[in-house]
């Protein structure tokens, strides 16, 4: 599966002034019977079909695996791509004696995982120590095309106030090590231990962006540009903005909704950049508070309205975002699908809410992992 954009797709996007998008998802590998994580990534790779391997790669721990969809213009094509990746990697995991689970971090108790035998990962472990104990942290990254890096930096500035509510929508890790954490996204809290994780700073220019990368590398806080873990950044490999603050979500449809909203938001902000509208310079501590609230409450609680600086129901802020980007959803042909998927999310709740509903109904942690494994590869898996 080729993850590079085709010349035909690039030409169509330019001709119609549309934005391409792609999704990367990280998954946990768990034992075929027990809910504990399994160091099965090499065995899973051995079972992958040859045409799939370009879109699948190792992650930091041997209990994780990552997929990347090809760039797409049509939301239906993205949906088909993600469903195929989940189904085929899930089938490979099954043949390897494991299960593929879309969850932010390990719900069940187990041993700390070993890193993949990769020179860069060993250097990271040696430099930064055991910042993420457990089986690993699994996120979703959405790539949206931009015309050039300078414009991309300005889009990053405009994105900052909107990312907490998108993070809240992805919350899918209320359990860790067999216990309820009290957070909708415990992965987010563990992730913040790394030195470069956090909201993107307000950037003066692309030159400023590059200077910060150079300074962070010189400081020792990161080994290379790949360790720039801001919640949104310019991709080092593609002409895209990469939005990367969220948990991996239970179903492919959850991921598609996030991708549609991300593309519509970038498209809306691009128009503001071209109109000369300056991005609001939201204070960093307020952004940190909003991201903490997203991790704690998910969409089922409160978040901070950046315009008023007051707490408001997170679902109301999500509705506000949806209405704000509606013209771009419509322009890209995504409005009908996004409307259905948002209604489904409102009815079912985030992944964290779905897990908690199972527990409230008497399910065990093992039952929750069973449900997550089914939901990862089957859009119609019942909640329970």
Structure tokens at 83: 């469903």
Structure tokens at 53: 């391997």
CB 228 within 8 A of CB 203: no
- What phi, psi does 270 have (nearest 5°)? -60, -40
- Taking CA atoms, 195 is separated from 128, 164, 248, in Å, by 9, 19, 21
**Is residue 341 domain-resident?**
yes
* 282-310: b (≥16 Cβ within 10 Å) or e: beeeebebbbbbbbbbbbbbbbbbbeeee
Q: Residue 43 gets which letter from DSSP?
A: H
**Is residue 383 domain-resident?**
no
**Is residue 264 domain-resident?**
yes
CB atoms within 10 A of CB 220: 10
CB 101 within 8 A of CB 369: yes
**Is residue 107 domain-resident?**
yes
CB 202 within 8 A of CB 281: yes
- Taking CA atoms, 89 is separated from 140, 212, 258, in Å, by 16, 37, 21
CA-to-CA distance for 153 and 281, rounded, in angstroms? 14
Provide the pLDDT for residue 50: 86
- Flag residues of the chain having pLDDT under 50: 1, 384
Nearest-CA neighbor of 106 among 183, 52, 175, 32?
A: 175
CA-to-CA distance for 179 and 202, rounded, in angstroms? 37
CB 107 within 8 A of CB 355: yes
Give residue for tokens 């034992």.
31
Please count the structural domains in the chain. Answer: 1
Please give the radius of gyration of the chain, using alpha carbons only, rounded to the nearest integer.
19
CA-to-CA distance for 161 and 43, rounded, in angstroms? 42
C-alpha torsion 166→132→53→246, nearest 10: 0
Provide the pLDDT for residue 381: 59
Structure tokens at 212: 């910060």
CB atoms within 10 A of CB 226: 11
Give residue for tokens 């939005």.
243
CATH number at residue 159: 3.30.590.20
**Is residue 384 domain-resident?**
no
Give the count of alpha carbons within 13 A of 310, CB side only: 3
Q: Return the SS3 of 224.
A: coil
Pairing label, strands 64-68, 21-31: antiparallel
pLDDT digits (tens, 9 = 90+) for 118-177: 999 999 999 999 898 899 999 999 999 999 999 999 999 999 999 999 999 999 999 999
CB 71 within 8 A of CB 3: yes
Where residue 120 falls (left for φ over 0; alpha for ψ -120 to 50; beta otherwise) is alpha
CA-to-CA distance for 364 and 353, rounded, in angstroms? 15
**Is residue 1 domain-resident?**
no
**Is residue 80 domain-resident?**
yes
- What phi, psi does 147 have (nearest 5°)? -75, -35
Interior angle at CA 158, CA 71 and CA 188, nearest 5: 70
**Is residue 311 domain-resident?**
yes
Domain that holds residue 92: 7-377
Provide the pLDDT for residue 1: 46
Question: Does an H or E element contain 244, and which?
Answer: strand 240-247
Nearest-CA neighbor of 242 among 170, 164, 146, 329?
A: 146
């Amino acid at each position: 599966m080729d993850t590079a954009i085709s010349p035909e797709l690039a030409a169509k996007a330019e001709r119609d002034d549309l934005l391409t998008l792609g999704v990367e998802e990280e998954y946990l590998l768990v034992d075929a019977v027990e809910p504990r994580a399994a160091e099965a990534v090499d065995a899973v790779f051995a079972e992958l079909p040859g045409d799939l391997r370009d879109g699948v790669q190792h992650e930091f721990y041997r209990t994780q695996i990552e997929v990347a969809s090809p760039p797409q213009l049509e939301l239906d094509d993205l949906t088909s791509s993600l469903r195929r990746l989940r189904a085929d990697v899930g089938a490979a995991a099954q043949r390897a004696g494991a299960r593929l689970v879309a969850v932010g971090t390990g719900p069940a108790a187990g041993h700390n995982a070993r890193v993949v035998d990769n020179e860069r990962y060993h250097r990271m472990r040696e430099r930064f120590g055991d910042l993420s104990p457990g089986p690993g942290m699994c996120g979703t990254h959405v790539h949206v095309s931009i015309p050039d890096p300078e414009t991309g930096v300005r889009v990053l500035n405009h994105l900052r106030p909107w990312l907490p509510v998108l993070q809240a929508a992805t919350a899918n890790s209320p359990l860790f090590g067999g216990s309820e954490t009290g957070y909708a996204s415990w992965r987010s809290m563990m992730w913040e231990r790394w030195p470069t994780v956090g909201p993107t700073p307000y950037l003066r220019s692309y030159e400023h962006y590059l200077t910060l990368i150079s300074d962070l590398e010189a400081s020792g806080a990161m080994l290379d540009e790949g360790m720039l873990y801001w919640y949104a950044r310019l991709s080092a490999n593609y002409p895209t903005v990469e939005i990367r603050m969220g948990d991996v979500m239970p179903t492919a449809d959850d991921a598609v909704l996030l991708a549609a909203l991300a593309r519509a938001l970038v498209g809306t902000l691009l128009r503001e950049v071209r109109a000369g509208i300056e991005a609001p310079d939201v204070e960093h501590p307020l952004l940190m508070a909003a991201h903490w609230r997203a991790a704690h409450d998910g969409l089922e609680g409160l978040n901070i309205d950046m315009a008023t600086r007051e707490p408001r129901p997170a679902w109301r802020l999500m509705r506000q975002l949806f209405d704000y980007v509606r013209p771009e959803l419509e322009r890209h042909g995504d409005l009908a699908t996004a409307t259905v998927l948002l209604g489904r999310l409102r009815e079912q709740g985030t992944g964290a809410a779905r897990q908690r509903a199972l527990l409230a109904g008497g399910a065990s942690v093992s039952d929750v992992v069973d449900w997550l494994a089914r939901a990862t590869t089957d859009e119609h898996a019942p909640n329970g």
